[in-house]
Amino acid sequence: MKKIYYIIIIAFIFSCCSEQEIYSPKGEFLFSNNCEALRGWDNSKMPFSDDIAHSGNCSSYTDSISRFSVSFDYKYSDLSDKLLKRVKLTAWVYFTHFNCKGEYVIAIGKDGIVSFWVSSRLQDFIFEENRWVKVERTFVLPQSVEPNSKISIYGWNTGKYPILFDDLIIEFVNY
């Protein structure tokens, strides 16, 4: 009986100490950011809001001067050794004014040259101001990408009124 007890304790310790990546049962993998935890996210160029957040205490703040939200930047080959076919983006977005204009952008490039760029207009999905709205978009990725390319995903404020972003989830799939 004591042997089983020790085996369970050792297994528990190893499971708690191992590095964790987030995988779903279908072999997809996820990255998420609630703006409180920014590991792996480029936040050096963007401000936060401590006043309005969907969850937690802060969100990514954009306006006519600071146009870009928190950015997900990753080397393509570090994401998967297989061809990534789609990326699903889920985010909570807050328009401070009915006439806000913005986009979610996916860009893939290498050495400063963008080889793939696609965006989705936020105002096509958000019809209210001063309220958090869940935005979900799926983007088809190109069929050929150089492994050393970088993939970037970010919100872009193209208007003059502030837009906030929070609770971002990025899901890459191979089917």
For residue 167, give the nearest of 23, 29, 31, 42 by alpha carbon.
Answer: 31
Distance CA 69, CA 100 (A): 14
Domain ranges of the chain: 22-173
For residue 78, give the nearest of 31, 32, 140, 46 by alpha carbon.
Answer: 31
DSSP for 38-74, please give it: -TTEE-TT--EESS--SSSS-EEEE-SSS-EEEEEEE
Tens-binned pLDDT, residue by residue, of the chain (175 aa): 443 333 222 232 222 222 333 444 344 555 555 555 553 445 555 565 556 776 767 788 889 998 998 888 888 888 877 778 899 999 999 999 999 999 999 999 999 899 999 999 999 989 999 999 999 999 999 988 888 899 999 999 999 999 999 888 888 887 6
Query: What is the value of pTM for the model shown?
Result: 0.75
The CATH topology of domain 22-173 is Jelly Rolls (2.60.120)
Distance CA 120, CA 150 (A): 20
